[in-house]
Amino acid sequence: MERKQELDAEIEQARRAEAEAALATVRETIAAFGFSADDLFGTRRKSRGASSGAPRFRHPETGETWGGRGPRPRWLKGKDPEQFRVRE
């Protein structure tokens, strides 16, 4: 069991040394070509955020709209939503 631990430690040490050498090579290459972080990883996309969507229902008197998501507005409660549907 002790021998296995010694071998595991040697393997881990060799892996670290190889990783350090690889990282040094990558850093030298980046410096030699003058790469930036954007060149290597690309630019981050900006999230568009949640879209409220087009209004699907409109109150005929106030012009207030509702897209059909979330709680139903007071002016629409207890009524047939089709009466207030926005026609395209």
Q: What pLDDT, on a 0 to 100 scale, did the predictor assign at position 24? A: 95
**pLDDT tens digits along 20-50:** 999 999 999 999 999 888 888 887 777 776 6
- Judged by DSSP in three states, 66 sits in strand
Q: What pLDDT, on a 0 to 100 scale, did the predictor assign at position 52? A: 67
Write out the H or E segment, with its range, that includes residue 27: helix 2-33
**pLDDT tens digits along 49-88:** 666 678 899 998 999 999 988 899 999 888 898 888 988 7
**pLDDT tens digits along 8-21:** 999 999 999 999 99
Helices (H) and strands (E) in the chain, counts: 2, 2
